[in-house]
Homo-oligomer: A and B are copies of this chain.
C-alpha cells in the first residue's frame, strides 16, 4: 500500500521528480541522472506499471486518488497528495489528467531480444520532436509493427510528451537503441531485414514496390527537417518514397510513418 503524504509546500524536496516539466533541457538532465521518467494520466500510469517499470512516487490531487486506488494499493511508493494549484506550481503547467507518476527506467533490451520473431520494424534516425516520436510509436503499434529501433541521437520515447502522445505504445512495442549510428543498418541487414529508407531522393521507388515480397522489412525514417542522413540513405538496401501530389514538399514525418507502416503491414509476402 502506497503511503499517502500530504504536501503543501511547493519547495518540498520530495517533489523534485516533478519539477518544471516543461523545461525540456532541464528534464533531460534530471531524468538521465536519476534514471527516471514521468507518466501522466491514469491510463498511461497503469500501462507504465504493467510494463514493469517500478514507481518511485506518485503525485496526485485528491480527486484522482479513487481512480487509481487499486494501483496505490499494490505499490510501496509514496503518493504525494497536493492541491491542483500546488501541482501546477511545481510542474509548471495545469495537470489536466490529474495523476502523475515518476517511474524507474529499466535497462534497454538487446537488439536480438527486440528483433526475435519480428517481421516489420521501424528504425528512427534522428527524430527530434517528442510528439513525433510518440505518434510514430502509436502508429507502429496500431498498424501491427513488431519493434522500434532508435539511432543514438533520436529523441527519448520515455520523455513525458512522447509517452503521452504514444498512448502507451512505448510500453507495448518492444524497442531499444542501436549501439552505434554508423553500423546501425548493417546490424539489421545481417539479421535478414531489407532496410527501406524513406526519402525524397530522385532514385527512390514507390514504397509499395520497395516492400513487396520482402519477408522482413526495416522501415528507416530520418529527421523532421532534413530527412535521412546521406550515410543512411546510402547504407539502406532500398530508397522509397510515398508518391506526392505535384507542388507539395512532403508529408510530415509522423504522417509519412503512418502511411509507410500501413503499406508495409499490408505488403504481399515473398
Contact = CB atoms under 8 A, between A and B. Distances in A.
Interface string A237-254: 000001011011111101
* Interface magnitude class on chain A: 20 to 34
Quick one: which of A172, A254, A255 has the most chain B CB within 10 A? A255
Given A135-B255, A255-B135, A255-B255, A142 B250 contact: yes
Contacts of A252: 135, 138-139, 165, 167
A245 B141 contact: yes
What copy number does this chain have within its complex?
Answer: 2
A143 B250 CA distance: 9
Contacts of A250: 142
Nearest to A244: B142
A211 to B, nearest CB: 14
A172 B135 contact: no
A248 B142 contact: yes
Interface centre among A141, A248, A263 (most CB of B within 10 A): A248
Residue from A167, A245, A249 having most chain B Cβ neighbours under 10 A: A245
A36 to B, nearest CB: 26
Nearest to A139: B255
A82 interface: no
